[in-house]
Amino acid sequence: MKAHMITYGCQMNEYDTHTVQSQLVSLGADMVHSVDEADFVLINTCAIRGRPVNKVRSLLGDLRKLKTRRPIVVGMMGCLAQLQEGQDMAEEYGVDVLIGPGSLLEIGRVLENNEKFWALNFRDELHDHIPPPPPQGTLQAHLTIMRGCDHHCTYCIVPQTRGPQVSRHPDSILRELDTLLAAGVQEVTLLGQNVNAYGFDQGARMAGLPTFADLLRLVGRTGIRRVKFTTSHPMNFTEDVAMAMADTPAICEFIHLPMQSGSNRVLRRMAREYTREQYLQHIADIRKHLPNAVLSTDVIVGFPGETEEDFQQTLDLYDEVGYDQAFMFIYSARPGTPSHKHFEDLPKELKTERLGRLVELQKQWSQRRNAALVGSAQEVLLRGDAVTEGFLEGHTRGNHPVVVPKALGADAAGVYTARIEHATPHMMYGKLLDAHGQELPELPKLTPEAAAMTNPLQMA
Ligand code: SAH
Ligand code: SF4
Ligand code: F3S
């Protein structure tokens, strides 16, 4: 079987795609790079907002047309697959295979007899499953430390798609990390919907699992170079997490702490279970232990009932914190969530206008924060070639995207030191340094003529 996967959604979905892909390969399937080459197309879906749902719908429409021309098995997995909305869509578009986020390991059934099947249970074996390591030389990897979510934020569909929270045993996490280290991974991102609640679900408490702060210390001592984590929910954040970050050198000084809104009234309606004041206290704790912490957040603009004054409080909170980075979303009413059922949506134009103002403010903060790093030396993980010929791209420990010209002895993916020369709100430009902080000689750039010689298409 030739299988092709298309992934929407967050890092958890990317991680799940990796798990399913490796499962398929171990059972004899070939992974191919396009729908055209495939006889099994599997879409890993997201249901967080209307837009990813619509994308899946249009893709399913295309695949249904394709099905009339040649035999092809179509599958849907991920968050949307777990919802009635997704199941209705699957019926409508003649989807053959439906797999929820809790039953990934059942994917093998598709190779057995090409039967149509739906697998939507939350199965325990997933929690101890260790996917095969990525290819040798992979620099970055994700590692799921928990699944599901026990919160009930009124706008959010995730508790319905990914079920209740289950923390993974540290032994299983560390065993997976060993396989990543053996493959050469330099940076691992620990994943969970609410990593600060790690160890607090009932099963975890019964098994005596450590707190998230202690898990960070455990992971940080394994020899991995960089550790990041997401998502850190403010409600369960403790000062000990900031302390663990400060006392464990491998943990990157980067924290994504979604505030969602700066207004207590809106936070209450969202059922976020913290106040603006508590949130700011966490920021103060982080700054106390990590004066150079890079801060990032998520914000929902235009939650039902958000007044101009509420929104102003979000803008004020932005200015109080001065985020380096932010993900800003327009509220999207998700069927089946409490806010969809009980509150009336605000007009689209109003939401769009507020988003525009917030994006502008964030741009200014990102510019200011990034500019402050010009002249500093940063550890950069360079993934590989940038779009511009002769450059490498990657990111800092603080998750700033970086571009640097290739240099002697530093012309391929790897972890290096770079001096930041120039910064825009969304990108940093640097020069690679040697171990003594001296600039490495840049590689000679190809002249346009020489570049054309190496590119036969351009010659023609
Ligand atoms: N578990 C994480 C969030 C996961 S979802 C946390 O609680 O922080 C990622 C982000 O999507 C959320 O932080 C939120 O900002 C956004 N989001 C979730 N549901 C949304 C909705 N219905 N409309 C708009 N944005 C939403
Ligand atoms: Fe959704 Fe809230 Fe859970 Fe995050 S904590 S996944 S926003 S319900
Ligand atoms: Fe992630 Fe989307 Fe599910 S954001 S948890 S894939 S709904």
DSSP states of 33-59 as a string?
A: SSGGG-SEEEEEE--SSHHHHHHHHHH
Q: State the closest ligand 1 atom to the C-alpha of 157, by its place in the atom list counted from 1.
A: 19
Q: Tell me the C-alpha distance between 138 and 132, whole Å.
A: 13
Averaged over 59-83, what is the pLDDT?
96
Q: Tell me the C-alpha distance between 264 and 347, whole Å.
A: 22
Averaged over 60-70, what is the pLDDT?
96
What percent of the chain is modeled with pLDDT above 70? Answer: 96
Q: Give 446's pLDDT tier (boundaries 50, 70, 90).
A: low
Q: State the closest ligand 2 atom to the C-alpha of 194, by its place in the atom list counted from 1.
A: 5
> Where do we find the tokens 């039902």?
304
- Check the annotation: does 79 bind a ligand: yes
Backbone angles phi, psi at 212, to 5 degrees: -65, -40
Q: Please give the pLDDT value at position 452.
A: 58
Q: Please give the pLDDT value at position 457.
A: 46
Q: Tell me the C-alpha distance between 34 and 158, whole Å.
A: 29
Averaged over 36-53, what is the pLDDT?
97
Residue 234 sits at the vertex; the CA angle it makes with 229 and 239, to the nearest 5 degrees, is 80
Query: Which residues on neighbouring strands pair with residue 166, listed in sequence order?
Result: 147
Q: Please give the pLDDT value at position 139.
A: 98
User: Which residues are near ligand 2 (CB < 6 Å)?
Assistant: 149, 151-153, 156, 158-159, 193-194, 233
Q: Please give the pLDDT value at position 453.
A: 57
Evaluate if residue 447 carries a pLDDT over 80: no
For the Cβ of 12 lying below 6 angstroms from any atom of ligand 3, the answer is: yes
Tens digits of residue pLDDT in 354-402: 999 999 999 999 999 999 999 999 999 999 999 999 999 999 999 999 9
CA dihedral for 367, 372, 377, 378, sign (positive or negative) = negative
Amino acid at 69: R
Q: How far is CA 161 from CA 58, 83, 158, in A?
A: 21, 6, 5
For the Cβ of 261 lying below 6 angstroms from any atom of ligand 1, the answer is: no
**CA nearest neighbour of 19 among 165, 168, 232:** 168
- Check the annotation: does 252 bind a ligand: no
Statement: 125-368 belongs to CATH 3.40.605.10? no
For the Cβ of 343 lying below 6 angstroms from any atom of ligand 1, the answer is: no
DSSP state of 213: H
Q: Please give the pLDDT value at position 114.
A: 63
Q: Please give the pLDDT value at position 449.
A: 63
**CA nearest neighbour of 198 among 240, 161, 136:** 240
Q: How far is CA 350 from CA 306, 318, 330, in A?
A: 10, 20, 10
Q: Give 458's pLDDT tier (boundaries 50, 70, 90).
A: very low
For the Cβ of 332 lying below 6 angstroms from any atom of ligand 1, the answer is: yes
For the Cβ of 48 lying below 6 angstroms from any atom of ligand 1, the answer is: yes
On the 0-12 / 13-18 / 19+ scale of CB atoms within 10 A, 305 is: middle
Q: Give 126's pLDDT tier (boundaries 50, 70, 90).
A: confident
For the Cβ of 303 lying below 6 angstroms from any atom of ligand 1, the answer is: no
Least confidently predicted of 18-27, 204-213, 410-419, 436-445: 436-445
Q: Please give the pLDDT value at position 232.
A: 95
Token readout for 238 is 């403790």
The CATH superfamily of 2-123 is Methylthiotransferase, N-terminal domain (3.40.50.12160)
Q: Tell me the C-alpha distance between 305 and 311, whole Å.
A: 10
Mean pLDDT of the chain: 94
Residue 186 sits at the vertex; the CA angle it makes with 185 and 189, to the nearest 5 degrees, is 85
Q: State the closest ligand 1 atom to the C-alpha of 333, by its place in the atom list counted from 1.
A: 22
Q: How crowded is residue 341: how many other Cβ atoms within 10 Å of its Cβ?
A: 10
DSSP state of 109: H
Evaluate if residue 455 carries a pLDDT over 60: no
Three-state secondary structure of 281-307: HHHHHHHHHCCCCEEEEEEEECCCCCC
Q: Give 460's pLDDT tier (boundaries 50, 70, 90).
A: very low
Q: Please give the pLDDT value at position 365.
A: 98
CA dihedral 145, 149, 153, 159 (to 10 degrees): 130
Residue 441 sits at the vertex; the CA angle it makes with 435 and 446, to the nearest 5 degrees, is 140
Q: How far is the CA of 8 from the centre of ligand 3 (A)?
A: 8
Evaluate if residue 450 carries a pLDDT over 80: no
Q: Give 459's pLDDT tier (boundaries 50, 70, 90).
A: very low
Evaluate if residue 72 carries a pLDDT over 90: yes
The CATH superfamily of 373-460 is Nucleic acid-binding proteins (2.40.50.140)
Amino acid at 361: L
Query: Cβ distance 203 to 249 under 8 Å?
Result: no
User: Which ligand is nearest to the Cα of residue 232, counting in written order?
Assistant: 1
**CA nearest neighbour of 17 among 128, 134, 165:** 134
Domain coordinates in residue numbering, the chain: 2-123, 125-368, 373-460
Least confidently predicted of 15-24, 108-117, 451-460: 451-460
Q: How far is the CA of 347 from the centre of ligand 2 (A)?
A: 24
Q: State the closest ligand 2 atom to the C-alpha of 235, by its place in the atom list counted from 1.
A: 5
Q: Please give the pLDDT value at position 438.
A: 95
Tens digits of residue pLDDT in 272-326: 999 999 999 999 999 999 999 999 999 999 999 999 999 999 999 999 999 999 9
**CA nearest neighbour of 3 among 114, 101, 117, 160:** 114
Q: Please give the pLDDT value at position 448.
A: 60
Q: Please give the pLDDT value at position 456.
A: 44
Averaged over 399-423, what is the pLDDT?
96
Tens digits of residue pLDDT in 208-257: 999 999 999 999 999 999 999 999 999 999 999 999 999 999 999 999 99
On the 0-12 / 13-18 / 19+ scale of CB atoms within 10 A, 454 is: exposed
